[in-house]
């Protein structure tokens, strides 16, 4: 199947994308390092990022099939490092429907999302990936990312 990426718009299924967004990281984030997401908040956040009125965000969707169906998304954010003042990009959530995984869609979405950040003014990208998330680590490696810092955690409870 041929897929393309495009910016999300008001006609897309916001509830479905919010559900996908809320599911990301559940297997990778530590229980005490994340709060459960509330769909209402996620919907609002996604709408703000989609509208990108400050020019600092965009939501891309991956679409394919006949009739066309949205099967994944990525949230692109342009951020500024408070110390160096350099602009960099982050992807605050990327997701591909489980049935469509393993055919290059994650790679295509991530590449398109990085390109959005580059065109918005980012001089580099930062990615935060769970150490066990082999699929996302692979996607980033294929795009030229290199590990830079590792977060270690020690539990006291």
Ligand X SMILES: CC(C)(COP(=O)(O)OP(=O)(O)OC[C@H]1O[C@@H](n2cnc3c(N)ncnc32)[C@H](O)[C@@H]1OP(=O)(O)O)[C@@H](O)C(=O)NCCC(=O)NCCS
Site for ligand X in 72-91 (CB under 6 A): none
69-84 burial: b if 16+ Cβ within 10 Å, else e: ebbbbbbbbbbeeeee
User: Which tokens sit at 154?
Assistant: 């020690």
CA 142-23-72 angle, 5° bins: 50
94 is an interface residue for ligand X by CB under 6 A: yes
Please, which of residues 122-141 interact with ligand X by CB under 6 A?
Answer: 129, 133-136, 138-139
| CB closer to ligand X, 24 vs 56 | 24
- Residue 51 beta carbon to ligand X: minimum distance, rounded to whole angstroms: 23
The size of the chain, in residues, is 157
DSSP 43: H
| Residue 124 Cβ vs ligand X, minimum distance, rounded to whole Å | 17
Binding site for ligand X (CB under 6 A): 24, 94-96, 101-107, 129, 133-136, 138-139, 142
């Amino acid at each position: 199947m041929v897929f393309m990426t495009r910016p999300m718009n008001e006609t897309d299924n916001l509830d479905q994308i919010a559900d996908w967004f809320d599911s990301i990281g559940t297997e990778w984030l530590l229980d005490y390092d994340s709060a459960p997401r509330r769909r209402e908040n996620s919907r609002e956040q996604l709408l703000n990022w989609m509208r990108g009125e400050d020019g600092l965000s965009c939501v891309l969707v991956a679409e394919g099939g006949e009739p066309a169906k949205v099967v994944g998304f990525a949230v692109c954010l342009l951020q500024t490092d408070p110390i160096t003042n350099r602009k960099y990009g982050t992807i605050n959530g990327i997701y591909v429907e489980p049935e469509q995984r393993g055919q290059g869609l994650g790679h295509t979405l991530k590449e398109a999302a990085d390109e959005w950040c580059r065109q918005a003014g980012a001089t580099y990208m930062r990615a935060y990936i769970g150490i066990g998330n082999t699929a996302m680590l692979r996607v980033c490696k294929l795009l030229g990312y290199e590990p830079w810092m590792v977060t270690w955690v020690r539990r006291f409870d």
